[in-house]
Structure 1
Amino acid sequence: MFGGKSKTQIAQTAPAASTATLDFEAQFQPAHFQLDPFAARAAANRLSRVTVELEDGDTLTALLVRNEVSGDEARATIEAMKSAYDVRKARAGQSFTLLFDRSQPQSFRGIEFDPDAERTVSVTRNSGVQFAATTAKRALSSRTVAARGTIRSSLFEAAANAAVPSQVLQGMIKAFSYDVDFQRDLQPGDKFEVMYDMQMTDAGEPVRSGELLYAQLTLSGKVKQVYAYKHEDGSVDFYDRTGKSVRKSLLRTPVDGAKLTSAFGMRRHPLLGFTRMHKGVDFGVPQGTPVYAAGDGTVDHANWAGGYGRLIKVKHNAQMTTAYAHLSRFAANIQPGAHVRQGQVIGYVGTTGNSTGPHLHYEVMKNGEQVNPNNTMLPAGTNLEGRDLVAFAKVIGDRETQVASLGTGVILASARTTVVPVACRADAPC
């Protein structure tokens, strides 16, 4: 262990004559060497561990040398480490555990550290000043987490107070974006509820959020719910309680965190000064915000278009086309003829063409005529049937049981929501 001396034992049982050659060869394969447990325990007991932190402006080499590691050993350690870790990513405050065996002439035996919550990197001495690096994945477990809260000023603030990960929040917004206008439909006092997977270490440290499982919005007393359902092919879609797809042919709001700054209809043009028809809707969002394809389709146009600036048009079917104007740039591989999926990033918000500031101008065209996206009836996606519908009913039951287990133990988001793992409530307290 860590280069220390150890004894090995080799099985001495004589093989049968008919298989003597094969068994003899098998006996001496590396997998049949066993470390003497007493020697291993003794070696482990001799090791001392010193935990140190990288200081501001420090280097790993300097850190090692400052802690009784020779220059040659430090350089060899860093060189070996490069095969498992980009040493340039080491930052001030990062902890490293140095291993020493004071009974050995060369007492430094190696270094261990966790570059992130998911893995441990070890660099250990082989012989002399030769070191080798290994990476071990840390065991992660998936836990179902739920949070709920009341919206006071914005959904983003309420979700942040509830410690809802941004990835989960964006997933919830996308799932509801087919029939919820997040700028106009949300009011103070509205409520949200969300359930999602969270990957955690054995110590209970959150590592990353997983899939959105369930979400609910209560808007002016009207409850809207979406449930995730995984199909046999592994794809995941969202459905209401009856198994109807929440997907529509087109998104009403193809950008996250959007503020409606100009509606469809007659308006005074901000640059030209006279009143004319505004044949789309404008969303005020920061420069560079991703813009999503409102539905599956084929890129019909991706180029400069006069006052529209950088413009993308996506043809969805024989009747429906959407347009996205004033973009700062197009996403990779977005060009005429490219096929896009609903929710795919196709460009980024800008202020090109006739524009007073960063925003997305969004148009929906039916049979070549611009129509109001908020007043247009959009056909729904495919609904669940047969075995899928039966399986989905069980999913709903499971989610309701998990939500009920939260009881009243979650504080309102406006007062700092406590996020409680479902498994830690009711009959299985933490």
Structure 2
Amino acid sequence: MNFLKRHKSIAVQIVGVIAIAVMFGVGLTTYLNNTQVTKTSAAEKSHQEKKIVLPASAVFGPAPVFEPPPSPPAIIRTVKAGPGDTFMKLLVKAGTDRATAHSAIRSMRKTFHPRRLKRGQEITVTLKPKSWGVKTGPFIGFSFNPSVEETIKVSRTAQDRFSVEKIKRLLDRQDVRVSGSIQSSLYVAATKAGLPASTLVDLIRLYSWDVDFQRDIQKNDKFDVMVERLHQKNGDFARWGNILYAELVLSGKSMRLFRYESKRHGVEYFDERGRSAQKALMKTPINGARLSSRYGKRRHPILGYTKMHRGIDFAAPRGTPIYAAGNGVVTYAGRKGAYGKYIRIRHNGRYATAYAHLRGFKRGIRRGRRVTQGQVIGYVGSTGRSTGPHLHYEILVNGRQINPLKLRLPSGRKLKGQELRRFAKMRERLEGRLAARKSPSKTRVTSR
């Protein structure tokens, strides 16, 4: 108290400062509160203004697009033809109803006859299921490859019919030359040198008018063949093609043949001078057979006495194909006493051939049927008076049997004039291709 009395003026000043500080604090608080309120009000006002500018009704954009689910994939089944199978059996087995299969098969008759179906042929059948998870569906078509060069495709149309498409596949061709020396047989030598069996059969047929392959082939005889090798675009082997050139050297004598094709006559083979390899008649109308009995008197193997044998016999396995020796008309096809099953063919006004002891006839061979040289007419058997399977072959001239091995056959077609000149140019080109293949796969020599 004494201090306040003595320092009254100082106390008054202190009180004043405190009062001012309180007033300043209250004012600052009020200012800050007012500022916060103002900011809040401004934010709310702004938010309200934003709400006000929104449209009163919804605005619609483009309608959303809904993609349908993908269709189930096609069902593809592959079936293989077995013994006795038909297109109908195979299509039904793959899931096709009989009525639809019948329509599909009938639609392709003009392109490919159903009876030509071979054992081992694969057929791809396509079905179209209507929903996922279903293991079958409507039949929409099938396809198959009758050869390496073509595809047959049968497809169902929108009108519930069937269309047929034949698709050709182009194959690349390569010249292949194979040669060799014969030590035991042409078959052994050719096989060892790499000549395919199908080409060897064609080679034998080319020379069958002039060469008896059972008697005329000798040790050290030679062969030389240029043949086409066909392959697909990816390089895979497809098949062997045509013989372009062939040569046999028999006992030192060369026999060369060149392939020549014309619009009128088709494919033929000629020697260097334009003379056809094809003669009026074949000396041996069978392949791979052994000459077992010649023409002339002999002791009959069944009757036991000497009797004239008016033909030649070729021993061969039962069922071996027999070929027509020349173009002509069948004048007899049936059983004929000791001959057994027998065929006679008239080739012209002078020549005829006969074939006996057959096991059976090729389908369609009957009296009056016209046949072509090299066509299969029957099969080796042992019917009639016979001791084993063989072909008894006769050549008749003016109705009389003669020795087939001594017959001098007339030559076939001979090129002349402009056609001969065309052939000469073709032969030159072919010889150039031969020169390019001068060193074929190494010549191989077979041994006994």
**What is the number of equivalent residue pairs in this alignment?**
345
SS in 2 for 1:140: coil
Higher helix proportion? 2
In structure 2, give the amino acid aligned to 1:231.
S
Residue among 176, 179, 187 paired with 2:218: 187
Aligned to 2:404: 373
| Matched ranges for 1:195-344 at <5 A | 195-233=226-264, 235-344=266-375
Instruction: Return the alpha-carbon distance in structure 2 between the equivalents of residues 405 and 193 of structure 1.
Output: 14
1:234 deviates by: 5.5
Is contact 2:177–2:440 with CA below 8 Å preserved after alignment?
no
1:146 and 2:196 aligned:
no
CA 1:206–1:264 in structure 2 vs 1: closer, same or farther (change >3 Å)?
A: same
SS in 1 for 2:171: strand
Is contact 2:258–2:269 with CA below 8 Å preserved after alignment?
yes
Q: Runs of 4+ in structure 1 displaced over 6 angstroms?
A: 80-84, 88-91, 112-116, 119-123, 132-136
1:197 deviates by: 2.5
Aligned to 2:390: 359
Larger radius of gyration: 2
Is contact 1:321–1:366 with CA below 8 Å preserved after alignment?
yes
Is contact 1:146–1:403 with CA below 8 Å preserved after alignment?
no
Q: Percent of aligned pairs with the same residue?
A: 41
1:254-278, Cα deviation, whole Å (9 max, x unpaired):
1111211111122221112222221
1:119-158, Cα deviation, whole Å (9 max, x unpaired):
78999xxxxxxxx999995843241433323223222222
SS in 1 for 2:432: helix
Instruction: Return the alpha-carbon distance in structure 2 between the equivalents of residues 299 and 171 of structure 1.
Output: 25
CA 1:375–1:406 in structure 2 vs 1: closer, same or farther (change >3 Å)?
A: same
Instruction: Return the alpha-carbon distance in structure 2 between the equivalents of residues 368 and 196 of structure 1.
Output: 41
1:345 and 2:381 aligned:
no
Is contact 2:176–2:440 with CA below 8 Å preserved after alignment?
no
1:224 deviates by: 0.5
Instruction: Return the alpha-carbon distance in structure 1 between the equivalents of residues 376 and 333 of structure 2.
Output: 14
RMSD (CA atoms): 4.3
1:229-266, Cα deviation, whole Å (9 max, x unpaired):
11122611111100011221111001111211111122
CA 1:206–1:298 in structure 2 vs 1: closer, same or farther (change >3 Å)?
A: same
Q: For structure 1, which segment, 210-219 or 162-171, has the greater mean C-alpha deviation from structure 2 after superposition?
A: 162-171
Aligned to 1:399: 430
Q: For structure 1, which segment, 156-165 or 199-208, has the greater mean C-alpha deviation from structure 2 after superposition?
A: 156-165
In structure 1, give the amino acid aligned to 2:400.
E
Instruction: Return the alpha-carbon distance in structure 1 between the equivalents of residues 389 and 119 of structure 2.
Output: 37
1:307 deviates by: 0.9
Taking structure 1 as the reference length, the TM-score comes to 0.66
SS in 1 for 2:319: coil
Instruction: Return the alpha-carbon distance in structure 2 between the equivalents of residues 90 and 303 of structure 1.
Output: 30
| Matched ranges for 1:10-49 at <5 A | none
Q: Where does structure 2 lack aligned partners over 5 or more consecutive residues?
A: 1-77, 80-93, 106-113, 125-131, 136-141, 155-161
Q: Where does structure 1 lack aligned partners over 5 or more consecutive residues?
A: 1-52, 55-73, 97-104, 124-131, 417-430
Is contact 1:265–1:279 with CA below 8 Å preserved after alignment?
yes
1:323-378, Cα deviation, whole Å (9 max, x unpaired):
10001111222222222221121111111011111111001111222111111111
In structure 1, give the amino acid aligned to 2:390.
H
In structure 1, give the amino acid aligned to 2:220.
G
Instruction: Return the alpha-carbon distance in structure 2 between the equivalents of residues 121 and 230 of structure 1.
Output: 28
In structure 2, give the amino acid aligned to 1:141.
L
Aligned to 1:102: none
Aligned to 1:167: 198
Is contact 2:183–2:446 with CA below 8 Å preserved after alignment?
no
| Matched ranges for 1:86-125 at <5 A | 117-118=148-149
In structure 1, give the amino acid aligned to 2:336.
A
CA 1:280–1:142 in structure 2 vs 1: closer, same or farther (change >3 Å)?
A: farther
1:198-245, Cα deviation, whole Å (9 max, x unpaired):
321012222122222221111122111111211122611111100011
Taking structure 2 as the reference length, the TM-score comes to 0.64
CA 1:222–1:90 in structure 2 vs 1: closer, same or farther (change >3 Å)?
A: closer
CA 1:373–1:90 in structure 2 vs 1: closer, same or farther (change >3 Å)?
A: closer
CA 1:401–1:323 in structure 2 vs 1: closer, same or farther (change >3 Å)?
A: same
Instruction: Return the alpha-carbon distance in structure 1 between the equivalents of residues 446 and 167 of structure 2.
Output: 38
Is contact 1:149–1:162 with CA below 8 Å preserved after alignment?
yes
Is contact 2:188–2:446 with CA below 8 Å preserved after alignment?
no
Instruction: Return the alpha-carbon distance in structure 2 between the equivalents of residues 372 and 363 of structure 1.
Output: 8
| Matched ranges for 1:63-78 at <5 A | none
Q: For structure 1, which segment, 370-379 or 329-338, has the greater mean C-alpha deviation from structure 2 after superposition?
A: 329-338
1:317 deviates by: 2.1
1:293-320, Cα deviation, whole Å (9 max, x unpaired):
1112221211111111111111122221
Is contact 1:287–1:328 with CA below 8 Å preserved after alignment?
yes
1:408 deviates by: 2.7
Is contact 1:117–1:138 with CA below 8 Å preserved after alignment?
no
Is contact 1:287–1:350 with CA below 8 Å preserved after alignment?
yes
CA 1:144–1:388 in structure 2 vs 1: closer, same or farther (change >3 Å)?
A: farther
CA 1:295–1:135 in structure 2 vs 1: closer, same or farther (change >3 Å)?
A: closer
Is contact 1:217–1:224 with CA below 8 Å preserved after alignment?
yes
SS in 2 for 1:175: helix
